């Protein structure tokens, strides 16, 4: 039981679907919300369970019905899934058929040779563990979290096919795969009869590698695309306009992708200019950054992260001003290239 639970009997907002858009995911029959909520950060055992519950409830009330997990989200590993499982059982279970819940396996999870990679042994075992932690009967989407060069891609895709055929998941996806390996995955899964639904990759104004080949694959193959870190781990917000604030992601020693060494004066100068452009558009910088990734026609949905409810509300408000003029897009590119 969650102590001091402010909302013990959760009833979802009856108007939750009115203001969120739901683009079709590639050539499939599935529709994703334009914004999805990722549980990579702030949902671990070290974090507040009541805050996690409040964020999940508010996200769903705003039309975000896709929650993205992975076996190693925490800390410690697995605890984000356990947190989600507690909240699911307590308040979200009546809405299971409205929810799209995904998880992944690929990165280091447990000791020994079978706790990492793309083998059938690891993927199936990890999927079973993730289902147990979340208390779910199935995942809507299960991903190979990363390409494993030491395992034949045929084995990895056969494992994903088996996960669907055994009822553990409805759809399969891949994450962090190169264009060539994405094409291989598409071909193999098509032959197996379990089409690849979606690719998940990093994308933001500061990280545009996806545009070097992957977006063409998505368009040519009719593949859905969901991007993570649209705010560059919080760097594309007003947090860092005057340096590194205490308690921010960059100030935390355990951070892998954003740390103090990456917050250069040059990047801060660009963020300041981007922030001014966002203000001219009547948006926060975070809102403009979210709208910018969604402006790419190859992107189906963007995964947002949050540490508090207000951040979710801020990102959803980006959908109120999601279009850009050609001049605005040119100004953004000029700032980033400067």
Show Cβ contacts of residue 109 under 8 Å, excluding neighbours closer than 6 positions.
Answer: 71, 72, 77, 78, 115, 116, 122, 126
Q: How confident is the model at residue 155 (pLDDT cuts 50, 70, 90)?
A: very high
Give the whole-angstrom CA distance, residue 200 versus residue 177.
8
Peptide bond into 76 cis (omega under 30): yes
Residues 299-313 have pLDDT tens digits of: 999 999 999 999 999
Domain boundaries, the chain: 35-240+298-308
Distances (CA, A) of 155 to 121, 145, 170, 175, 323: 10, 14, 19, 16, 42
φ and ψ at 212, to 5 degrees? -95, 60
Residues 187-229 have pLDDT tens digits of: 999 999 999 999 999 999 999 999 999 999 999 999 999 999 9
35-240+298-308 in CATH: which number? 3.20.20.100
When the pLDDT of each residue in the chain is averaged and rounded to a whole number, the result is 93
Neighbours of 331 (CB within 10 A): 17
Does the pLDDT of residue 40 top 90, yes or no? Answer: yes
66-70, 144-148, 255-259: which has the minimum mean pLDDT?
255-259
State residue 70's pLDDT score: 98
Q: How far is CA 148 from the centre of its chain?
A: 20
State residue 260's pLDDT score: 54
């Amino acid at each position: 039981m969650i102590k001091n639970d402010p909302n013990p009997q959760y009833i979802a907002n009856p108007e939750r679907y009115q203001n969120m858009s739901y683009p079709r995911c590639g050539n499939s029959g599935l529709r994703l919300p334009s914004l999805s909520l990722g549980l990579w950060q702030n949902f671990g055992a070290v974090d507040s369970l009541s805050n996690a519950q409040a964020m999940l409830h508010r996200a769903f009330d705003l039309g975000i019905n896709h929650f993205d997990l992975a076996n190693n989200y925490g800390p410690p590993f697995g605890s984000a899934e356990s947190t989600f499982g507690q909240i699911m059982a307590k308040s979200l279970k009546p809405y299971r058929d409205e929810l799209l819940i995904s998880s992944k396996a690929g990165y280091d999870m447990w000791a020994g040779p079978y706790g990492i990679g793309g083998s059938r042994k690891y993927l199936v075992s990890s999927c079973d563990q993730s289902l147990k932690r979340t208390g779910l009967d199935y995942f809507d989407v299960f991903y190979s979290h990363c390409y494993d060069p030491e395992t034949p891609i045929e084995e990895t895709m056969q494992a994903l096919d088996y996960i669907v055929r055994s009822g553990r998941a409805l759809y399969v996806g891949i994450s962090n795969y190169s264009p060539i390996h994405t094409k291989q995955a598409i071909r193999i899964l098509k032959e197996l009869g379990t089409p690849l639904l979606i690719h998940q990759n990093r994308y933001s104004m500061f990280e545009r590698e996806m545009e070097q080949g992957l977006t063409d694959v998505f368009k040519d193959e009719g593949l859905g695309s969901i991007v993570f870190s649209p705010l560059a781990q919080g760097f594309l917000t007003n947090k860092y306009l005057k340096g590194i604030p205490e308690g921010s992601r960059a100030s935390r020693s355990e951070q892998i992708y954003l740390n103090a060494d990456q917050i250069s004066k040059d990047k801060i100068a660009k963020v300041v200019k981007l922030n001014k452009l966002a203000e001219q558009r009547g948006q926060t910088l975070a809102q403009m950054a979210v709208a910018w990734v969604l402006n790419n026609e190859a992107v189906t949905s963007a995964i947002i992260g949050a540490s508090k409810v207000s951040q979710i509300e801020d990102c959803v408000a980006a959908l109120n001003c999601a279009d850009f003029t050609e001049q605005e897009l040119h100004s953004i590119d000029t700032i980033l290239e400067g």
